[in-house]
Amino acid sequence: MSKKDPLTREQVRDINAWWRAANYLSACQLYLLDNPLLREPLRPEHLKRSIVGHWGTCPGQNFIYTHLNRAIVKYDLDMIYISGPGHGGNAIVAQDYLDGSYSEIYPNISQDTEGMKKLFKQFSFPGGIPSTASPETPGSINDGGELGYSLAHAFGAVMDNPDLIAACVVGDGEAETGPLATSWHSNKFLNPITDGAVLPILHLNGFKISNPSVFSRLTREETEMFFKGCGWEPRFVEGDDPEQMHQKMAAAMDWAIREIQRIQEYARSSGSVERPRWPMIVFRSPKGWTGPAEVDGKPSEGCWRSHQIPIPVWDGKPGRVEELETWLRSYHPEELFDQQGALIPRLQELAPKGDRRMGANPHANGGLLLRDLRTPDFREYGVAVPQPGAVEAQDTQVLGGYVRDLIKRNLKSRNFRVFGPDVTSSNQLSAMLQATGRRWTDQPEEEMNNHLDQDGRVMDAMLSEHMCQGWLEGYLLTGRHGFFTCYEAFTRIVDSMVAQHAKWLKVCRQLPWRQKIASLNYVLSSNVWQQDHNGYTHQDPGFLDHVANKKADVVRLYLPPDANCLLSCFDHCIKSRNYINVIVASKHPRPQWLTMDQAVKHCTQGIGIWQWASNDRGVEPDVIMACCGDTPTLETLAAVTILHHYLPQLKIRVVNVVDLMKLQPHTEHPHGLTDEDYDAIFTKDKPIIFAFHGYPTLVHELTYRRHNKNLHVRGYKEEGTITTPFDMRVQNDIDRFDLVIDTVMRLPQLGNSAAYLIQEMKDKLIEHHQYITTYGQDMPEIRNWAWNEGKGIYLD
């Protein structure tokens, strides 16, 4: 110990004792059913029969956590802990247990011998808790079961939380994932005045499951250059001697906290947002540190072999229990816990108090902090629709006006942001930029500055769906609001992230102490049905299918057919809690169908018969023409117009679906119609021609239990690329002409008049094909048909 060392001998002793306690609890969670404090010799019956979980990451994370605690106390920090490496759940739980935050939430897991026994048993045990930093873990907002999102979550958490520091441990395995790799650049979008700070700690554990990690095998010079290139100032803490490492870590931590404070104080006093070089720590320690050095004569500590269970107690080899006991006793639990099993007072004093404990920090249970948004009256943004189809509008453009004012009203409360991968303009939501700018700390020369703003609410300056998703998740999980606007096809890039968030929400609903958070909302546009500058690669409506498979009490899917319906749906979603809401919307000029009053009613019901387009009043229809999505609605109404014209005696019922889950039985989804209500709309046996926005199979999947099996769904079938909007529909058989053909083919009673109409429709298709291959655009009459030719039927 030298004079320059930041810690006294006593501090080292105590900090090391806390670390030993945390490591002891982490190891025992893997193995023990009983004899929690080793008050008697360890015997096989004290052990779980099935030993599952991970050890390798725990001691390093415990080391970091312990030193963060010291910094919290020393500097009175508001800090949360994000565990990136995955499967370190037993370490975080151990820390929560030591500082008391665990027992406050789970009184059965008390801070005594009995509670400790339960603590050990529940880990990776039926009815217990997972091995990750799962929702059950106090203080966690990042499960880590799927790797790669810790840093994005950390940045989301500190946005608009100027006093918060998110300490984010990045695993060196995790650091190899794509999403994590690009997360380092998030620092370009952090405002040191109005946002908090992220303190990344790269945990160089050396190994993954079986392989070394990439970052652990870079040269130190490369590592330093890499992080400096990403705009960080790294400091290295490396070694395996605990005493030296405590001193080094304390010094690095003091430096990092002071750097953060210096940067923030400078920015906040000077008003300058010039991008600072934020501190970070590179922490290299042996994997499975303090675990058995060798097992069966092969290295365990410091090696990939310590990844999961270092000592396989049930492999039948003699002496295993003794080996385990030696390891566990090496932490000297008798020095750490008193007779009742409580942490000794000297160590208790080390912990931060109350909400300062990372397991009790309210930011990590964001619902506690969630405040309602101030919302404008969405009805005031509606499009006047004198009669169905009489006017055109661009749905997302209309929504943009509402969002603009939503942003304005919540500028002061700083709890609402919009996220997207540079598609604000493309998705026609630019009106937002009248109220705020695009977040970027660096400012380009003025004439190149397209609404960049150092304090903007629109996070659309990074071309990464992963970042948008991760930031937004972090923002929501810490008690704020927002939505993600994306090209529909490219939400697939974050399929797995969305699935993980759905899992998180599902578990949270079962935990009464987890307060509800704002819903994860999507506004997806630039959808499959009109591509313009893009093509086949930009066509994928399957995000709906993906989300539909998730737990029914978490997911909601909306396909508003026009601007007024979009406003109504969006307003509903943005006020909701604990859901994943997917809205698929149109951005192109399209006829508008419903007045605002009608739209509100329609969206509230979620599904409805459009009487004004139907001619089956008072009788059972011959056919149901159903539609869901803006383009299918347009084509269905055009087809109905044609049918009314040619076959006025045919009784057609037009059904529009906004809330897709209405199709599922109410026993499967809370929004689902009862069979009675479904049959009242769709009949039990009349043909249903269903034009759907996405893959047809999704409608079949949702309706397979329904009585009416006479269902014929048209939707996207992976056809069409660069072509006209109408030709996209033709290539997927969802255009008006094909819908008419499809309909009359299901009605044998029509006889010759069907054959005539089919020929007419085929002629139209040929005529159109000739036109587009000559001129490259749709025949003008195609666009207008629905409401010019057929306006007679659009009486309300």
Structure tokens at 351: 């912990």
Contact 269, 241 (CB under 8 A): no
Nearest to 459 by CA among 186, 274, 179: 186
Cβ proximity to its own copies, 113 vs 205, nearer residue: 205
Contact 733, 717 (CB under 8 A): yes
Rounded Cα distance between 739 and 778, Å, is 18
Q: Please, what is the minimum distance in Å from the beta carbon of residue 589 to its own copies?
A: 14
Rounded Cα distance between 190 and 195, Å, is 6
Strand partners for 458: 418, 438
Q: Please, what is the minimum distance in Å from the beta carbon of residue 130 to its own copies?
A: 4
Cβ proximity to its own copies, 201 vs 385, nearer residue: 201
Q: Please, what is the minimum distance in Å from the beta carbon of residue 426 to its own copies?
A: 6
How far is Cα of residue 424 from the mean position of the Cα atoms in its chain? 19
Cβ proximity to its own copies, 18 vs 692, nearer residue: 692
- 32 CB-near residues (< 8 Å, 6+ apart): 46, 47, 48, 117, 120, 121
Q: Please, what is the minimum distance in Å from the beta carbon of residue 188 to its own copies?
A: 6
Residue 243 is which amino acid?
Answer: E
Place of tokens 């993954």: 208
Q: Please, what is the minimum distance in Å from the beta carbon of residue 290 to its own copies?
A: 18
User: Crossing angle for the helix pair 630-646 and 752-775, nearest 10 degrees?
Assistant: 130
| 62: Cα within 13 Å, side-chain hemisphere | 34
Structure tokens at 580: 């994943």
Q: In 3-state terms, what secondary structure has residue 692?
A: strand
Cβ proximity to its own copies, 135 vs 560, nearer residue: 135
Q: Which residues of 108-123 are buried (b: 16+ CB within 10 A; e: fewer)?
A: ebbbbbebbbbbbbbb
First to last CA, the chain: 86
Q: Please, what is the minimum distance in Å from the beta carbon of residue 655 to its own copies?
A: 19
Cβ proximity to its own copies, 461 vs 634, nearer residue: 461
Q: Please, what is the minimum distance in Å from the beta carbon of residue 720 to its own copies?
A: 10
H-type alpha helices, 432-541: 465-477, 495-509
Nearest to 232 by CA among 183, 299, 269: 183
Cβ proximity to its own copies, 211 vs 326, nearer residue: 211
Contact 149, 473 (CB under 8 A): yes
Query: If 0-12 CB within 10 Å is exposed, 13-18 middle and 19+ buried, where does residue 106 land?
Result: buried
Q: In 3-state terms, what secondary structure has residue 285?
A: coil
- 510 CB-near residues (< 8 Å, 6+ apart): none
Q: Please, what is the minimum distance in Å from the beta carbon of residue 324 to its own copies?
A: 17
Rounded Cα distance between 705 and 665, Å, is 7
Cβ proximity to its own copies, 753 vs 784, nearer residue: 784
Cβ proximity to its own copies, 526 vs 564, nearer residue: 526
Q: Please, what is the minimum distance in Å from the beta carbon of residue 443 to its own copies?
A: 10
Structure tokens at 317: 């080899």
Q: Please, what is the minimum distance in Å from the beta carbon of residue 469 to its own copies?
A: 10
Cβ proximity to its own copies, 73 vs 779, nearer residue: 779
Q: Please, what is the minimum distance in Å from the beta carbon of residue 718 to its own copies?
A: 5
Strand partners for 665: 673
Rounded Cα distance between 726 and 532, Å, is 11
Contact 465, 486 (CB under 8 A): yes
Q: Please, what is the minimum distance in Å from the beta carbon of residue 359 to its own copies?
A: 20
Cβ proximity to its own copies, 426 vs 454, nearer residue: 426
Contact 33, 121 (CB under 8 A): yes
Phi (first) and psi of residue 148, to 5 degrees: 125, -5
Residue 339 gets which letter from DSSP?
Answer: T
Cβ proximity to its own copies, 439 vs 644, nearer residue: 439
Contact 524, 488 (CB under 8 A): yes
Q: What's the order of all strands across the beta sheet hosting 232-238?
A: 78-83, 164-171, 197-204, 278-284, 232-238
Cβ proximity to its own copies, 187 vs 415, nearer residue: 187
Angle (CA) 693-428-473 rounded to 5° is 75
Cβ proximity to its own copies, 107 vs 126, nearer residue: 126
Rounded Cα distance between 295 and 288, Å, is 12
Q: Please, what is the minimum distance in Å from the beta carbon of residue 504 to its own copies?
A: 9
Q: Please, what is the minimum distance in Å from the beta carbon of residue 685 to its own copies?
A: 13
Cβ proximity to its own copies, 41 vs 212, nearer residue: 212
Contact 235, 226 (CB under 8 A): no
Structure tokens at 783: 């666009």
Contact 683, 621 (CB under 8 A): yes
Residue 141 is which amino acid?
Answer: I
Q: Please, what is the minimum distance in Å from the beta carbon of residue 113 to its own copies?
A: 20
Q: Please, what is the minimum distance in Å from the beta carbon of residue 630 to its own copies?
A: 20
Cβ proximity to its own copies, 88 vs 389, nearer residue: 88
Specify the DSSP element, H or E, that contains 126.
none
β-strand 294-295 against 438-439: which pairing, if any?
unpaired
User: Crossing angle for the helix pair 9-31 and 320-329, nearest 10 degrees?
Assistant: 150
Cβ proximity to its own copies, 4 vs 298, nearer residue: 298
Cβ proximity to its own copies, 80 vs 459, nearer residue: 459
Q: Please, what is the minimum distance in Å from the beta carbon of residue 696 to its own copies?
A: 9
Q: In 3-state terms, what secondary structure has residue 53?
A: coil
Cβ proximity to its own copies, 613 vs 728, nearer residue: 728
Q: Please, what is the minimum distance in Å from the beta carbon of residue 496 to its own copies?
A: 4
